[in-house]
Amino acid sequence: MKKSQLILSDSNLDFCPRLKTIIKNGQTIDGDGNIIQIRGMSTINNLQIIRRLIIDLCPKNTLEIGLAFGGSALAILSTLQEVHTKKDFLHTAIDPYQSTVWKNSAITVITQEQLDRNFRFFEEYSSLVLPRLILEHEKFGLVYIDGSHLFEDVFVDFYFVVQLLEMNGIVIFDDCRNNHVHKVVQFIKNNYSKILTSYPIYFPDKSFPKIIANKLGYKQVEIFCKIGENSRKWKDKLKKF
Ligand SMILES: C[S@@+](CC[C@H](N)C(=O)[O-])C[C@H]1O[C@@H](n2cnc3c(N)ncnc32)[C@H](O)[C@@H]1O
C-alpha cells in the first residue's frame, strides 16, 4: 500500500480560494446572503489529508456525512474537479440540519462556486439515507464520516459505510480523539481487521500534546482501506475494544 506524504505550508489552501477566504476570515454567508461566523469546520490538516487521498486515489464517487458550512465539501469538490478533468465525478453529502442550523450556507457556497453540478445532497439523518444507498447498489471510493459524534451514530455510520465502500475504498473518521469516535475505531481495529485495515499516511505533526496523543492511539483522523467483504459469522467472538 502506498504511503501518502503530506507536507503542510501556508499555501495549502490555494487550490480552493473560496475555502481559503472562509477559513482566513472565519466567516461565510447563509442562504439569504447574511454574513455568519463559522464554527466546527474540519481542521486544515483534515482537509489536506482528504485532498491528498483524492489526488492519490482519484475516486469518482465520494460521500461525506456532516456538511455544516461546507468546508470539507469545498475541499473535496475542488480536488475532484482538479483530478477529473472530464468532470465525471459525483460528491454526495448528508446532513439533516443544513437549512435549519446551518442556514443553507454550504449549499450557497457550493452553488456560487459552480460545483453543484457534481454534487448531491440529502437533508436527512445518515442512518436513514445510508441503507437506502445500499439498496440502490451505490458504491463509493472515499467516505468522510464527520456527522453526529455520538457513539451509536458513528457506529451506525461505520456499519453502513463499510457496505457502501468499493474494494480498496477509503473511509476517514474525523475527531478520533473524541471518546465516542475512538470507541468505534477501536472496535474496527480489534474486530474488523479482515475487512478494514489502517491506511498509512505520513503526517508530520510536531506539537508535544499531539505526539503524546498519537502515542496513546488518539489521532485526530483515522483512515481505513477496505480489503475484504464482511464474512463474519453470527457466533464470532467479540474482541475487547
Ligand atoms: C463537525 S460538523 C461537519 C463539518 C464539516 N464536515 C466541515 O468540514 O465543514 C458535523 C455535522 O454533522 C451533522 N449531523 C449531526 N447529526 C447528523 C446525522 N445523524 N446525520 C448526518 N449528519 C449529522 C451536523 O448538522 C453538522 O453539520
Whether the CB of 65 sits within 6 Å of ligand 1:
yes
Measured CA to CA, the distance from residue 228 to residue 167 in angstroms comes to 7
Q: Under 8 Å CB-to-CB from 100, ≥6 apart: which residues?
A: none
Q: Which three cell numbers stand for residue 240?
A: 475487547
Which residue's C-alpha comes closest to atom 23 of ligand 1?
A: 147
Q: If DSSP codes are grouped into helix, strand and coil, which group holds residue 152?
A: helix
Measured CA to CA, the distance from residue 139 to residue 163 in angstroms comes to 8
Whether the CB of 175 sits within 6 Å of ligand 1:
no
Ligand 1 atom showing the smallest separation from residue 147 Cα: 12
Which residue's C-alpha comes closest to atom 18 of ligand 1?
A: 125
| pTM attached to this predicted model | 0.93
Mean pLDDT of the chain: 92
pLDDT-based confidence at residue 17 (cuts at 50, 70, 90): very high
* Average pLDDT value for residue range 68-89: 97
State the burial class of residue 199 (Cβ atoms within 10 Å of its Cβ: 0-12, 13-18, 19+): buried
Q: Which domains does the chain have, with CATH numbers?
A: 4-8+42-226 (3.40.50.150)
The yes-or-no verdict on residue 59 having pLDDT over 50 is: yes
Whether the CB of 98 sits within 6 Å of ligand 1:
no
Alpha helices in 65-150 (DSSP H): 71-83, 105-112, 126-135
Give the CA count within 13 Å in the CB-facing half-sphere of 209.
2
204: amino acid identity, one letter: P
The predicted-structure confidence for 112-170, as pLDDT tens digits, reads as follows: 999 999 999 999 999 999 999 999 999 999 999 999 999 999 999 999 999 999 999 99
Q: Can you list the positions of beta strands (E) in the chain?
A: 4-5, 27-29, 35-37, 61-65, 90-94, 119-122, 140-145, 165-173, 196-198, 201-202, 222-226
Measured between its terminal Cα atoms, the distance across the chain in Å is 26
Cα Rg for the chain, rounded, in angstroms? 17
Parallel, antiparallel or unpaired: strands 61-65 and 90-94: parallel
The yes-or-no verdict on residue 3 having pLDDT over 80 is: no
